């Protein structure tokens, strides 16, 4: 069972006068749907100008297609069960569409990490498509994963088969670690 879905946005300070956030300040946001996530990204861009990183914790997408899915706690038990998570960003075409929507919000060296079971997709196709659409570094896992802990400290993760990263130049990097702490940042 998972807690409600979380997205963490890392923000860069705006280049113009006005309220400023410190560079790379972690801004955790609780969202339940992909639309909520996109709206949260838009709102943060209005405050910060660019986002340097997005960390998504969710259920995995369609089997073999990679990606993630979100939803609402319809039975009221405080957790989003896999059957309640029906808002998908899965398959290469949906990765490209989602990437096109958020691309202009991302800083030049931004990253997107998708902590969801099988988020990389077969042959890492999902994270490759998301990387191609955004130009960001994209991180996923080819296997099952679990995460928990506090949003601000004590966060932990486990992956059955490590993590895969698609770099800005399209090259692939693998981290065989099966557990760690904090959010998934580029490695």
> pLDDT, tens digit, for every residue of 100-157?
999 999 999 999 999 999 999 999 999 999 999 999 999 999 999 988 777 556 788 8
Could you please report the per-residue DSSP string of 39-76?
HHHHHHHHHHSEEEEEEEE-EE-STTT--EEEE--TT-
Report the predicted TM-score, pTM, of the whole model to 2 decimal places: 0.80
Q: Quick check: is 186 in a domain?
A: no
Is residue 34 domain-resident? yes
**1, part of any domain:** no
Report yes or no on 49 lying in a domain. Answer: yes
Distances (CA, A) of 131 to 63, 74, 97, 100, 173: 20, 33, 12, 10, 13
The string of pLDDT tens digits covering residues 38-85 is 888 888 777 667 888 898 888 888 888 899 887 766 777 666 666 665
In a domain, 78, yes or no: yes
Query: The domain containing residue 146 runs over which residues?
Result: 6-181
Q: Indicate whether 187 belongs to any domain.
A: no
What distance lies between CA 121 and its chain's CA centroid? 14
- Report how many domains make up the chain: 1
Q: Identify the helix (H) or strand (E) that includes residue 180.
A: strand 179-181
């Amino acid at each position: 069972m998972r807690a409600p879905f979380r997205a963490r946005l890392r923000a860069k300070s705006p280049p113009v006068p006005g309220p400023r956030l410190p560079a790379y300040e972690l801004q955790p946001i609780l969202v339940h749907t992909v639309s909520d996530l996109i709206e949260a990204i838009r709102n943060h861009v209005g405050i910060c100008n660019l986002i340097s990183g997005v960390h998504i914790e969710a259920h995995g997408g369609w089997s073999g297609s990679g990606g993630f899915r979100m939803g609402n706690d319809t039975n009221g038990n405080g957790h989003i069960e896999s059957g309640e998570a029906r808002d998908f960003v899965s398959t290469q075409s949906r990765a490209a569409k989602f990437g096109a929507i958020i691309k202009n919000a991302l800083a030049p060296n931004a990253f997107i990490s998708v902590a969801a079971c099988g988020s990389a997709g077969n042959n890492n196709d999902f994270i490759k498509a998301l990387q191609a659409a955004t130009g960001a570094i994209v991180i996923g896992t080819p296997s099952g994963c679990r995460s928990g802990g506090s949003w601000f400290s004590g966060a932990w993760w486990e992956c059955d088969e490590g993590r895969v990263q698609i770099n800005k130049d399209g090259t692939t990097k693998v981290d065989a670690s099966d557990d760690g702490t904090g959010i998934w940042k580029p490695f």
